[in-house]
Chain A
Amino acid sequence: MEDSRKPLNSTRVKQDADFIFHEFTRSICPQCKQVIDAQVIIRENKVYMRKRCPDHGWFEGIVSSDAKMYVDSIGYNKPGTIPLDFNTQVDRGCPLDCGLCPEHKQHVCLALIEVNTGCNLDCPICFADAGVGYSLTLEQVEGMLDRYVETEGNPEVVQFSGGEPTIHPELPAMIQAAIDRGIGQVMVNTNGIRLARDDRFLDLMARLNPVIYFQFDGLRRETYQTIRGEDLLDTKLLALERMAGAGLDAVLVAAIEYDVNLDEVGAILEFGLKHPAVRGVVLQPVTHVGRHIPFDPMHRVTIPDVIHGIVEQTSGRFVLEDFVPVPCCFPTCQVNSYVYVDEEQVTPLPRLLKIEDYLDYITNVALPKVPDAAQIREALEGLWSASAVPGSDKTAGQFQCACGPGLDLPFGIDHLNKHIFQIAIKDFLDAYTFNVKQVMKCCVAVLVPDGRAIPFCAYNSVGYREQVREELTRQQRQAHLE
């Protein structure tokens, strides 16, 4: 036992903490998922979340590897839009009353419908933990779409996901049902295997023409081995070639992990910029929910790591300032950039006008004194939004409006559709970084058959996914027995 009495001759000097206390918020315990208090701190220009569960002790995880970028982004927070109706009441407090409850701070920009849990792959990394479970009926999906239209009035985007949605026999009818209800843009989130192999399915998709949200993790075979459990590179390239042939627009979606493909972000972007089927890339640091490989919460990829990766790996084509936070969700969740691509020439939109003059709502209360500033802000808000879908007429129109003063663009919307390229970097929350403040303004929601729209990160981290899956699987088994 150590003697706790210190020698009397030691000097008493107050020490500074080695961190800046940035904010106090609420989070969840990574082990038992109960809601607990949390602190966000800044140490050596990095942002961390620190919290204590009364049952499981202290936890700490990195939130952002660039504190300046994190803090600067906060001004890009725009007022939320209130949905027409809510599906739940405030009862236990955020995040246990989802979705959406009247205390939520934003409507749904992008709705996900996970049509099944089954998949034709068995990846070591899968936030949805795909496998045995349920498969929604067309009637269930129609009901969910109807409720989405009721609560949103003019729903912007619906994305069909899973599981693997392309193996659901009714997916084409579900896409058509979304189109028939006037939903602005329909997307299909897929690994592309069926598009690569099934001519009839490819033809059906070409006729329905959804934007394909295409999992594409890199250009190295080992990347697929690690993330997907098998070498899918040739299948991926074939699928893209066939999409280009069928006239389908694709967005490359890469899950980014340290020591796997963080050094490939530049190559993915350059590949996308050149490929005729590709209208954008979405780079997502791997979310450590569902199935994932072992990870260290203090050493995970965050948004600044991806931005720095792009800048360093594209030989001067991009600079840090080309990436601007997205105001519709909490602005620390996503950054976007847009480029106008013409042959070898790549012009990022943020070089043409100062985006911060329009989208930094807190620093710049007044709009710039230029003609039509309000319309330019509106167009930029459309582009810097979770509902912006590359390849859509709407996005092309907004680009046209936003970049008007600086770039002499041809007029045709069709031309712009093929020449505007979106780059999005999106960091989802896991149990270590879960911040109620961000979830309260989340604008990406998972629709469930009972009508709820549950914010995506709450769905994945708090336990909603498990509850919904268990209930739907039970219902389906029951229906089967009757």
Chain B
Amino acid sequence: MNDNTEMQAKACCADLYQSDMARMLLGDSLHPGGLRLTNRLGRLMGLRQGGWVADLACGQGTSAAAIARSFRCKVVGIEYGREAVEAARQRVLDAAIPSDSWFIQADAEAPPLKPESFDAVLAECSLSTFLSKEVAVAQAARLLKPGGRLGISDVMIEPGYLPEELDNSLGQMLCVTGALGVEGYAQLFSGAGLEKIYREDASEYVAELLVRIKAGLATLSLFAGRLDGSEQGTIYGELSPTTDWIGLVEKLEQLVSAGHLGYWLYIGEKPGQFG
């Protein structure tokens, strides 16, 4: 079974996100668009007061709590990482403003939730990390009430365009290694029987993030000459300081402007009328 491999992959991903480098390069918001895009998804999914929402691979629950408050709905977050779930629960307790959000430690690809009981299911930048995307989307669709909506945001890369320098942890941090093309996500949705599939290009948020990463890398290069080996180790991690990382980011920027790399939103509706 792949559980272990996947858990390791996800744990590795989480470690990366918490590293100083990731924070410096990506800033506070780890996903392109941050909560601005979460709110956009919420509006597109038509979230309403009192509705039930499931958030698959919810991390530390930032989006789940924000959605619960902004749309005044009830959100169940599913997350594989035990520590993240504990952190999410603690954050709800510590929050100044309460939110109707609850967190369960479970595999988001097989969520232990009641079928046909959710008005919306959300998966932000997580489908690309799932090993079996078809199973994950089918499971998400199963949770929806008839008329309920699945909403995702994710990295899009057209097949064959992943630069080989990114077939590593940096690529993982940028969520490009497991990403699909524009049609790939739409096919996943229709394959799971979802209808009225709507897609929206949010690639400007990737462009914004790349500008930020470039400025961060420029800073690293300014400092690199002054550091002794050990410090270099902690800052660059497994990235080689001799590689032209700014050049790589510029290559990614070119892919974005050519439309081969981007960040997209998809909404699909489960057929049937609720009630």
Question: Which residues from chain A sit less than 8 Å from chain B, CB to CB?
Answer: 142, 146, 149, 153-154, 172-173, 175-177, 179-182, 204-205, 207-208, 371-372, 375-376, 378-379, 393-394, 397, 400-401, 404-405, 408, 411-413
Contact B215 A401 (CB under 8 A): yes
Q: How far is the CB of B27 from chain A (nearest CB, A)?
A: 7
Contact A393 B27 (CB under 8 A): yes
In the complex formed, the residue of B with least CB distance to A173 is B97
Contact A208 B96 (CB under 8 A): yes
> When each residue 59-77 of chain B gets 1 if its CB lies under 8 Å from chain A and 0 otherwise, what string results?
0000001100110000000
Which residues of the other chain, A, contact B214 by a CB distance below 8 angstroms?
A: 375
Contact B35 A180 (CB under 8 A): yes
Q: How many CB-defined contacts (below 8 Å) exist between A and B?
A: 90
Contact A207 B95 (CB under 8 A): yes
Contact A180 B219 (CB under 8 A): no
Contact A204 B96 (CB under 8 A): yes
* Residue of A180, A376, A412 most packed against chain B (CB within 10 A): A180
Which residues of the other chain, B, contact A146 by a CB distance below 8 angstroms?
A: 39
Which residues of the other chain, A, contact B204 by a CB distance below 8 angstroms?
A: 153
A181 partner, pick from B29, B39, B246, beta carbons under 8 A: B39
Q: How far is the CB of A297 from chain B (nearest CB, A)?
A: 44
A397 partner, pick from B24, B29, B70, B222, beta carbons under 8 A: B24
Give bound CA distance, A376 to B214, whole Å. Answer: 11
In the complex formed, the residue of A with least CB distance to B69 is A180
Which residues of the other chain, A, contact B69 by a CB distance below 8 angstroms?
A: 176-177, 180
Does B23 belong to the interface (CB within 8 Å)? yes
Could you give 15 example pairs across A and B, Cβ below 8 Å? A149-B39, A176-B69, A176-B95, A176-B96, A176-B97, A180-B39, A181-B70, A182-B36, A371-B222, A378-B211, A393-B27, A394-B28, A401-B218, A404-B222, A411-B20
Give bound CA distance, A177 to B97, whole Å. Answer: 9
Which residues of the other chain, B, contact A204 by a CB distance below 8 angstroms?
A: 96
Q: Return the 5 tightest CB-CB contacts between A and B, nearest first.
A: A182-B35, A404-B222, A182-B36, A180-B66, A375-B218
B70 partner, pick from A180, A372, A379, A411, beta carbons under 8 A: A180
Contact A413 B215 (CB under 8 A): no
Q: Knowing A173-B97, A207-B95, A375-B215 touch, does A154 contact B38 (C-beta < 8 A)?
A: no
Which residues of the other chain, A, contact B33 by a CB distance below 8 angstroms?
A: 182
Q: How far is the CB of A187 from chain B (nearest CB, A)?
A: 16
Q: How far is the CB of B62 from chain A (nearest CB, A)?
A: 9
In the complex formed, the residue of B with least CB distance to A401 is B219
Contact B97 A393 (CB under 8 A): no
* Residue of A177, A182, A378 most packed against chain B (CB within 10 A): A182
Does B208 belong to the interface (CB within 8 Å)? yes
Contact B96 A172 (CB under 8 A): yes
User: Chain B interface residue count: which class?
Assistant: 35 or more
In the complex formed, the residue of A with least CB distance to B36 is A182
Which residues of the other chain, A, contact B211 by a CB distance below 8 angstroms?
A: 378
Does B274 belong to the interface (CB within 8 Å)? no
Does B216 belong to the interface (CB within 8 Å)? yes
Give bound CA distance, A372 to B6, whole Å. Answer: 39
List which B115-156 residues lie within 8 A (CB) of chain A: none
> When each residue 69-104 of chain B gets 1 if its CB lies under 8 Å from chain A and 0 otherwise, what string results?
110000000000000000000000011110000000
In the complex formed, the residue of A with least CB distance to B68 is A180
Q: How far is the CB of B142 from chain A (nearest CB, A)?
A: 29
Q: How far is the CB of B214 from chain A (nearest CB, A)?
A: 7
Does B106 belong to the interface (CB within 8 Å)? no
In the complex formed, the residue of A with least CB distance to B211 is A378
Q: Knowing A180-B69, A207-B94, A397-B27 touch, does A372 contact B35 (C-beta < 8 A)?
A: no
Give bound CA distance, A375 to B220, whole Å. Answer: 12
Q: How far is the CB of B22 from chain A (nearest CB, A)?
A: 12
Contact A378 B215 (CB under 8 A): yes
> When each residue 15-31 of chain B gets 1 if its CB lies under 8 Å from chain A and 0 otherwise, what string results?
00000100110011100
Contact A411 B215 (CB under 8 A): no
Does B105 belong to the interface (CB within 8 Å)? no
A371 partner, pick from B36, B216, B221, B223, beta carbons under 8 A: B221
In the complex formed, the residue of A with least CB distance to B71 is A180
Give bound CA distance, A428 to B161, whole Å. Answer: 52
Which residues of the other chain, B, contact A182 by a CB distance below 8 angstroms?
A: 29, 33-39
